[in-house]
Amino acid sequence: MKITLKVWRQKDANSKGAFKTYEHSHVSQDMSFLEMLDVLNNELVQKGEESIAFDHDCREGICGMCSLYINGRPHGPLQTTTCQLHMRSFKDGETITIEPWRAKAFPVVKDLVVDRSAFDRIQRAGGYVSVNTGGVPDANEIAIPKKIADEAFDAATCIGCGACVAACKNASAMLFVSAKVSQFALLPQGQPERKERVEKMVAQMDDEGFGACTNTKACEAECPKGISVANIARMNREYFSAITSSYEVMAKGGGD
């Protein structure tokens, strides 16, 4: 296959970026999208040009490190991560535009690499159960209905990639934050800190400069892990009852 690539190149956070066009003639259908870029990068280096910087690590769709806004869609045309996308999803002769995630809270670091540390700071605000190592009860002392456990698991599978933010015209992080809030709101282990958790995580999310929810579900449509917008609805209820009701009411399950 032959393709034309229009790639965003930007030297660093403070420089202005621009698109650069590359003709790429050594593409095979079996390559993953990132392998296609590897091959291009090796050719660039051999020609004495600097390679294109992009984030990636596991290349198995689980670490959440890869990103890329491909032809106007985060992670490209399929609902999967960029590392799991293959060139057979594109046509011979196609022009492919590659940009970094665009969001105020995700500043560009270089080329296609962005800074997603805002996500870590939101998790740090309360995305955990406050237990120390040791001194915990036997694992089977906490029985959890399978249905609840499965629902919590579905929310917990978020890989923190940021596609939801990139997909949203307001660059909202609601899907990401609600996934963690939901996991713990559903599980018995999350109950003692249920109120503070949602309050603190939402406050941090706002501080980071993510926008408000558009209710267009663009995030859900692009999330590679199929995180449901039902989590956003749950987080809204959690947040509302947290700020309006006393702790006791919430602990009894108020607002859900």
Partner 1 sequence: MKLDSKAPEGPLAEKWTKHKFNLKLVNPANKRKYDVIVVGTGLAGASAAASLGELGYNVKAFCFQDSPRRAHSIAAQGGINAAKNYQNDGDSIYRLFYDTIKGGDYRAREANVYRLAEVSVNIIDQCVAQGVPFAREYGGLLSNRSFGGAQVSRTFYARGQTGQQLLLGAYGALNRQIANGKVKMYTRSEMLDVVIVDGKARGIITRDLITGKIESHSAHAVLLCTGGYGNVFFLSTNAKGSNVTAAWRAHKKGALFANPCFTQIHPTCIPVTGDHQSKLTLMSESLRNDGRVWVPKTARPGLKAADAVNIPESERDYFLERKYPSFGNLVPRDVASRNAKYVCDEGRGVGTTGLAVFLDFSDAIKRDGEATIRAKYGNLFDMYAQITGDNPYKSPMMIFPAVHYTMGGLWVDYNLMTTVPGLYALGEANFSDHGANRLGASALMQGLADGYFVIPYTLGDYLAGMPYEKVSTDRPEFKEAIDTVQSRINKLLSIKGKKTVDQFHRELGLTMWDYCGMSRSEKGLKFAKEKIQKLKEEFWSNVAVLGGAGELNQELEKALRVADFIELGELMVDDALNRSESCGGHFREESATPDGEAKRKDDEFAYVAAWEYKGENQPEALHKEELIFENVKLTQRSYK
Shortest separation between residue 254's beta carbon and partner 1, angstroms: 21
Nearer to ligand FES among residue 56 and residue 197 (C-beta): 56
Nearer to ligand FES among residue 119 and residue 239 (C-beta): 119
Find out whether 236 and 255 touch, Cβ atoms under 8 Å: no
Separation of alpha carbons 254 and 256, rounded Å: 6
Nearer to ligand SF4 among residue 3 and residue 68 (C-beta): 68
- Size of residue set near partner 1 by CB under 8 A: 76
Shortest separation between residue 145's beta carbon and ligand SF4, angstroms: 24
List the one residue out of 17, 15, 20 whose CA is nearest residue 4: 20
Q: Distance from CA of residue 178 to its chain's centroid?
A: 12
Find out whether 136 and 47 touch, Cβ atoms under 8 Å: no
Give residues 164-183 in contact with partner 1 (rule: CB under 8 A). Answer: 183
Separation of alpha carbons 21 and 13, rounded Å: 21
Separation of alpha carbons 143 and 174, rounded Å: 30
Q: Which does 140 bind (CB under 5 to 8 A by kind): partner 1, ligand SF4, ligand FES, none?
A: partner 1
Q: Which does 81 bind (CB under 5 to 8 A by kind): ligand FES, ligand SF4, partner 1, none?
A: ligand FES
Contact residues: ligand SF4, CB under 6 A: 158-164, 175-176, 179, 223-225, 227
> Does 98 interact with partner 1 (rule: CB under 8 A)?
no
C-alpha dihedral sign at 233, 174, 203, 129:
positive
